[in-house]
Amino acid sequence: MAVGSVEEPVEIFKARSDKREYRRIVLQNCLEVLLISDPETDKCAASMDVPVGYYSDPKGLEGLAHFLEHMLFYASEKYPVENSYSKYITQHGGSTNAFTSSENTNFHFDINADCFEEALDRFAQFFVKPLMSPDATTREIKAVDSENQNNLLSDGHRVYQLQKHLSAKDHPYHKFGTGSWDTLEVQPKARGLNTREELLKFYEENYSANLMHLVVYAKDCLDKAQTLVQSIFQEVPNTNRSYSPVTDQPCKSEHLQILVRAVPIKQGHRLMIVWPIIPGVIYYKEGPSIYLSHLIGHEGEGSLFYILKKLGWATSLSAGESSGGHHFSFFEVYIHLTDAGHDHFEDVVALLFKYIDLLRQAGACKWIFDELSAMSETDFHYQDKNSAIDYVVDVASNMQFYPPIDWLVGSSLPSRFSPDIIEAVLNELTPQNVRIFWVSTKFDGHTDSMEPWYGTTYSVEKITSSTIEQWMEKTPDGNLHLPVPNMFVPTDLSFKTVSNKMNFPVLLRKSPYSRLWYKPDTLFSMPKGYIIIDFSCPQSGSSPESIVLTSIFIRLLMDYLNEYAYYAEIAGLGYWISSHYNGFQVTVSGYNHKMRVLLEKVIDKITNFKVEPDRFFVIKELFTKQYQNFKFQQPYEQALYYCSLILREHAWSWKDELEVLPNLEVDDLVKFYPLLLSRMFLECYIAGNIDSKEAVSMIQHIEDAFYKGAQPLSRALFVSEHPSSRIIRLEESTNYFYAAEGLNTSDENSALVHYIQTHPDEYIKNVKRQLFVLIAKQPAFDQLRSVEQLGYITSLSRTSDAGVCGMQLIVQSSVKDPRYIELRFQAFLKMLESQLHDMSDDEFKRKVNALIDIKLEKFKNLSEETNYFWWEISGGTLRFDRIENEVAALKLITKTDLIDFFNEYVNVGAPKRKSLSLQVFGSSHSSEFKAEKVDPVEPNVVQIEDIFSFRRSRPLYPSFRGDISRLKAHDAEHQWD
Ligand SMILES: [Zn+2]
């Protein structure tokens, strides 16, 4: 037995495709640890899960557990410099985060493998001896408050809190978990409490090694990882606390059989039907909730959603268990209603109960369970590798609920068919137990109560089971029935070995109609494929009408395909169609076995498209609401929208698109559809476990469908018609700004996006910019968010638009206006200038190496690889060997190069600085907005008054998609046989 572990080794069940090794150890301080060894990983990670959350907040100190989560990471006795931990992590290619939920708090990070030891030690010290310094207290209460400010206008948060509000007042489920300035500062002070003392007390009472679960993801072997973990985490104090989960039920009889009408922020009508149920963790092998959500949430013919959709009442439906806790849980059905569905509320509820009755009559079906169990098993054994950080968080959260053998599996593998257990949960989904939340802007002005934390207005009405039974009697059942066996379940999971080890995509086939890029799987050995077909249609972006019609066309296609493709989706084969300014894009990904069947069905729906008037109107209504809801976007999202509208050559304003929408009729789409497809070009990418002949034959099939026959749907594009996407070039040493009031007048938050345009894609400048952002992003966050407390959302990141590189600062603030934030950013850059000069050569070298490590990180799964190469193809840069070239450029870079770049392109007053500030003023800064309008502007500052005339007046950068003649097709027969 290994030193330090006090128990026998246990088996941990893992996927067949999983080459990693696992070991459970328990340290002498009783900390339970799962070690993971992955010699192939580039990043290492760790997650500590502490079984205490906001359910444990003391009365009158709402948000204390969350506030502790914020405070814990400030500093430790061993590393007393504030924020030195997050600085270390981000500057070595990592990230760090934490979250607080009802019954647990999770802390986690990842980092380049060679820096893991030190990072892990820094991480551990927060649990060994944290320094929750008094001067950080006020700042972090403000950070929590700012986080809460950002949530106040989110319907998701509002409705969730309302659900909790309408439960037993003395039950922890009733609590408000985020906290605010009021709950953590004002109220405690008024009662003579010191929040920091309460915080320390809370920490002492709840953080103890014997309760915690740690997952460590290492590159080293298990023995080495074990020695490291033992030496570091042994010191976490164990005060032998016991964990007492909440056991009683939050919903008493008075909280059941209720109908709650509530008013949301956003347009639309939603219905949430909720029942308290036996928690799934108790019967995770029998999977009763998984079985029931599979059927109630099904979208195939005969399903509840299929019928609601056919009646024109719903646009989406989902069903499943939402986690409540260890001892109570809820089953929820969530339906987006159309206007007609809202009017037929009683019928919708009745149909749901009729479907549940049908399930009860049918009893638990063995074949359905077996099919579900087989699909889950395939998914588990062929799961894509995801990032180490996500993986450790998932596993650490499982450790609290499941025995070690199932830590990796959790509830994802239902394997034991138990009709009794399924029926026991099914019998809880009754009118006697139900809670119905009906959310619609139509209730505005017709409610009588207000939820205290978010201010959601609502009213409650009792709804007896006999009322629901009456609704059921008068509603026709619409031929509800169970699904049929799923023909998309893959049965051929064999892997096609490729003789030719190719690292980059090749142009496999080229014709006047299409180009096919091909990249077989040489890395993952998974029975999966990825297909992208991008349709370039010059007609799609030619006017606001045409872009909206293209979007309606796409949405209708998916609407028609839904009941068929849903079967594929649940069998791990998904598809997606999206529209853009130059046309639209079809993506199919998942198990390759039946992929071609699905792709050909999608193509068939496109070539045989007919407008169904009733569906047209449903989609038009949906789009109208989506456009109307644009104004409820977060202020920083509005600023990003203005940025893209100013920069992009082709882009219509959302207001223009909303304006044309009401006038669009069935006939407009009937006429537009043939025009849209009349001339087009297909850019195609096929990757994964698909051989080259198959890939060519799929594209041949698509070409035949569109371009062949007596009266073909489509013709090739003229050379002159090939679309480009370009952005405008800003003027050097000029700071443009565009100021606007926030679109939602009840949103107090303001936002600034400060965009700096640097250069068109080119290796040497690219790496200078990347290195600069890597070095600057953490200090920017520290200074602007932590020290100056400007706003919870603060980030500095790289940008790339149509091959033109840049960077952007985003700050959203409820305390300061965008103009002030802009000045603070300038002050920050000045401060950074001296930091760059002071940086030692050693430190500089470390940063360069960190960036090299980030660049050399391997793709973890097919979709990561596909996104990477597709980005090169769709942008037209086609630099598949970019990584090698940028790494070579990085090896030559000097500190002087970096400082020169900063002084030329980024620093305040830099000669080649091209910047654009987007300033969105929230309601708390409307006087500053008005004041700014009359302010005389500085010499090199130019205000953009009218976005479109400004855009027209500027020159464009060249497009990387311009030169298509340099592309030559490889000879498919020769190279791939
Ligand atoms: Zn937080």
pLDDT at 144 over 80: yes
pLDDT at 835 over 80: yes
The answer as to CATH 3.50.50.60 being correct for domain 21-234 is: no
Rounded average pLDDT over 704-716: 95
Calpha distance 114→486 (Å, rounded): 47
Residue with tokens 């597709």: 870
Ligand 1 center from residue 781 Cα (angstroms): 15
Residue 545 a catalytic site member:
no
Give me the pLDDT at residue 477, please: 74
Residue 140 a catalytic site member:
yes
Residue 111 has which token pair?
Answer: 């980092």
Give me the pLDDT at residue 806, please: 98
pLDDT at 747 over 60: yes
Catalytic residue among 32, 82, 140, 451: 140
Classify the phi-psi angles of 853: left when phi > 0, otherwise alpha if psi is within -120 to 50, otherwise beta.
alpha
Ligand 1 center from residue 653 Cα (angstroms): 34
Give me the pLDDT at residue 973, please: 37
pLDDT band at 1 (very low <50, low <70, confident <90, very high): very low
Q: Angle CA(724)–CA(730)–CA(735) in degrees, nearest 5?
A: 150
Q: By percentage, how much of the chain surpasses pLDDT 90?
A: 88
pLDDT at 938 over 70: no
Computed from CA positions of residues 616, 617, 622, 624, in that sequence, does the dihedral angle turn out positive or negative? Answer: positive
What confidence tens digit (pLDDT) does each residue in 875-900 have? 999 999 999 999 999 999 999 999 99
Ligand 1 center from residue 783 Cα (angstroms): 18
CATH code, 506-716: 3.30.830.10
pLDDT at 96 over 70: yes
Containing 896, the helix (H) or strand (E) segment is helix 895-901
pLDDT band at 975 (very low <50, low <70, confident <90, very high): very low
| Chain centroid, CA 836 distance in Å | 34
Matching fold, domains 21-234 and 734-953: yes
What confidence tens digit (pLDDT) does each residue in 519-559 have? 999 999 999 999 999 999 999 999 999 999 999 999 999 99
pLDDT at 124 over 90: yes
Beta 583-591 vs 734-741: how paired, if at all?
unpaired
Contact 382, 15 (CB under 8 A): yes
pLDDT at 971 over 50: no
- Output the pTM of the full model: 0.93
Bridge partner list, 461: 259
Rounded average pLDDT over 512-524: 95
Give me the pLDDT at residue 966, please: 53
Catalytic residue among 62, 69, 748, 822: 69
Ligand 1 center from residue 73 Cα (angstroms): 12
pLDDT band at 960 (very low <50, low <70, confident <90, very high): confident
Ligand 1 center from residue 164 Cα (angstroms): 20
Ligand 1 center from residue 70 Cα (angstroms): 6
Domain range list for the chain: 21-234, 253-364+418-474, 506-716, 734-953
What CATH number matches the domain at 734-953, 3.30.830.10, 1.10.287.470, 3.40.50.970, 3.40.50.10490?
3.30.830.10
DSSP category for residue 23: E
Beta 95-100 vs 269-277: how paired, if at all?
unpaired
Give me the pLDDT at residue 31, please: 97
Give me the pLDDT at residue 404, please: 96
Give me the pLDDT at residue 719, please: 86
Name the average pLDDT for the chain: 94
What confidence tens digit (pLDDT) does each residue in 199-242 have? 999 999 999 999 999 999 999 999 999 999 999 999 999 999 98
Ligand 1 center from residue 210 Cα (angstroms): 25
Rounded average pLDDT over 13-32: 96
pLDDT at 326 over 70: yes
Q: Which residues surround ligand 1, an ion (CB under 5 A)?
A: 147
Rounded average pLDDT over 792-801: 94
pLDDT at 846 over 50: yes
Main-chain phi, psi angles of 671, to 5 degrees: -80, -35
Calpha distance 727→713 (Å, rounded): 32
Give me the pLDDT at residue 974, please: 37
What confidence tens digit (pLDDT) does each residue in 451-493 have? 999 999 999 999 999 999 999 999 987 799 999 999 999 999 9
Ligand 1 center from residue 701 Cα (angstroms): 52
Rounded average pLDDT over 790-794: 90
Give me the pLDDT at residue 867, please: 97
pLDDT band at 962 (very low <50, low <70, confident <90, very high): low
Give me the pLDDT at residue 211, please: 95
Rounded average pLDDT over 384-398: 96
DSSP category for residue 753: E
The answer as to CATH 3.40.50.620 being correct for domain 253-364+418-474 is: no
Q: Where are the alpha helices (DSSP H) in 781-912?
A: 818-838, 841-855, 862-875, 882-892, 895-901
Rounded average pLDDT over 303-319: 97
